[in-house]
Every structure is written in C-alpha cells, then in structure tokens.
A = this chain, B = another copy of it.
Amino acid sequence: MKVYVKCPSKVTLFGEHAIVYGYPAISASLGKYLHMTIEEWREGIVIMAEGVKVDGAAVHIRKDWEIRSLGYADYPKHALRYIITALKLIEAEYAKLKPAKIMVKSTLPVGAGLGTSASVSVATIAGYLKYLGYEPTRKEIVKLAHKTEYTVQGKASPMDTSTVTYGGILYIKPKGEYGEAYIENLPKIKPKVVIGYVEKKYNTGFLVARVRELLDKNPKIIGAIMENIGRIVEKAKQLIKEERWEDLGRLMDVNHGLLYALGVSTLELERMVYASRLAGAYGAKLTGAGGGGSIVALVPEEKAENVKRAIEISGGKAFIAEIGVRGVEVEKVKS
C-alpha cells in the first residue's frame, strides 16, 4: 500500500492581516508543489523530510507516541511539527494509526508566506486518511488541517488550508474562529504571477502581534486601515470578474501601501516591489505576513521574464508561477 499526495502552495493576493480581524481576503493556489508519499512500514511511523527546512532529517515516532529524532534535534519547531500534530488529530478523530513511512519533499521556500505549513498539514491529512482507507471530503480535510495549524500556531485563518485543498482563486470571508468561512470561487486570473522572496526577518506570530499593538494604540486609525483593506478586497473581486488587470495591479500597489502602514514591509521587500513595477508589472505587493518573505507581482505574460530578472537583480530570488491550479490530489499507487 502506497499513497502519493501532490499539494499546491498558496499566495495571498489581497487582504492579509485584515483577515485576522474578520475581513475577507483573496488567495490563489500556486503551482509549486509539496510531494508526499505514505507507504507501509514495519513498526512506528518514520518521517523523512526534504526541502522543508530539515533536509535529510528523519524522525521516528514509536507506537506509544514517544517521538524520537534521528539526526535532527530541532524538528518540532519546523514543518515536521505539523505532520506530527496532524497524525495525532487523525488518531483522536478517526482511528488508531498504522505503521507508515512518510516521505515529504517541497521545492518551496519555507516561512516565505507561501503556505508550506498548510500544504504539509493538508497533504498529511488527505494522504494518511487515504492510507487508512478513508475517503474524506475536501471539507473534512480543510477542517482537520485548519485544526492542525491552529494547534501548532495558537491562531490560524482558514485561508491557507482552504486554498491548497480546493485550489483555484478563492474569495474567503472568515466566520468564527474555528475554520468556518464563506468561500466563493473566482474566475481565472489571466496575467502571469511572479513571486519574489528574500529571507524572512520576523515570524508571522511576531508580526501579527506587532500589528495588534499598533491597533491597540491607534484603534481608529489602524481600524480604518483594516476596514479599507476589506474594501480593497471587495473591489479586487469585482475587477477580477471584469478582467481589468491594470486596475487590479494598481489596487495591489494600494494594498501594499496599507500593509506598509501597518508596519510589516521591509526595505528588501520594497526593492522587489519597485523592481517589479519598473520592469512592467501591473502591480506588486508583499504577500503573507511580511517582515521579509515574499512579494507577488501581477504581470503581462510578455513581461514575466523581465520582472523575474529585475527581482533577482534587486536581491531576491524569483519564479514565474501558475496560479489557480487544482487543489490537493491523492492517489493510491500500489495496493
């Protein structure tokens, strides 16, 4: 028995940070994949991860849930923590675990705000439930994957797990704390997307807390910025439906300015967004929590290579990405 899982990552196009306060956001699945295989094993659960910040690391989880690291002591802080949490939740809500060897490989920059933790969580849940013989619906997958993120992080919006599970371009408006959300599928975005990224200086939790502090000190001003980001999301949804790409790009620039006002941009991110705009992007903004990490540029197809190169010259790494790809896919490759 061997299960293969292919899970996209995600990029937030509009609305990050404000979604924490209940405003909607627009996110898209990103055609950079996390690959996972789950196959039979003698005893316990062995996890081998490559490219998820723990290259070559392996952990061995014994039947009694005493977790033992093989060669990499620091794993619980990183991606493996999501896998282990997901497995524990599966045991709590579905059935006793079976021995398995889980291999995971990602080509994505971890912690760059591209949703690797959601991809890891979703892939584990979708794949391991299949391995146990279940056929969960996408809704069930999202629910448990969000619970995984919530357990690990203390707080999580349902955006990332929904986006990588369902795929496509999603308008998401949270309802309540626990992963409930109103979700609407938006039509395809025709221009290309270029992602640029640099090392992250601050983690998401720190940035969310700093925004909260700024909000507490200036409730009216920062509250109005959050509300205005919500307004941008509504307008962006309309522009996507009307295929007004230039106006959509300008709106990304405006959204970026408001994120800047929340204090989550950095000079390294500015270099990349300006490089993108100067190289012909319709617009560009940081994506995710900020404090370093990634930017997303909306780009006419014939300018994509230019924009990619401009970001690289400005000091970042970059790739041209497909967005709106299919969500998580699970396949039984051996019975």
Q: Which B residues are CB-close (under 8 A) to A258?
A: 225, 257-258, 261
Q: Which B residues are CB-close (under 8 A) to A214?
A: 250, 254
- Chain B's closest residue to A217 (CB) is B247
Give the secondary structure class of A's interface.
helix
- Chain B's closest residue to A255 (CB) is B261
The answer to whether B250 and A254 have CB atoms under 8 Å apart is: no
Is A1 in contact with chain B by the CB < 8 A criterion? no
Q: Which B residues are CB-close (under 8 A) to A220?
A: 231, 235
- Chain B's closest residue to A220 (CB) is B231
The answer to whether A254 and B247 have CB atoms under 8 Å apart is: no
User: Could you say which of A217, A222, A262, A270 has the most chain B C-beta atoms within 10 Å of its C-beta?
Assistant: A270
Partner of A270, one of B218, B225, B247, B270: B270
- Chain B's closest residue to A229 (CB) is B221
Within A270-320, the residues touching B (CB, 8 Å) are 270-271, 274
Is A69 in contact with chain B by the CB < 8 A criterion? no
A231 CA / B259 CA spacing, docked (Å) = 18
Is A253 in contact with chain B by the CB < 8 A criterion? yes
Is A227 in contact with chain B by the CB < 8 A criterion? yes
A262 CA / B227 CA spacing, docked (Å) = 17
- Chain B's closest residue to A214 (CB) is B250
Question: A204-248 vs B: 1/0 string, CB under 8 Å?
Answer: 000000000010011011101101100110010000000000010
Q: Which B residues are CB-close (under 8 A) to A266?
A: 274
Is A263 in contact with chain B by the CB < 8 A criterion? yes
A306 CA / B251 CA spacing, docked (Å) = 36
A213 CA / B222 CA spacing, docked (Å) = 25
A259 CA / B261 CA spacing, docked (Å) = 9
Besides A266-B274, A267-B271, 5 new A-B residue pairs in contact (Cβ under 8 A), listed by A number? A217-B247, A217-B250, A221-B228, A255-B261, A261-B261
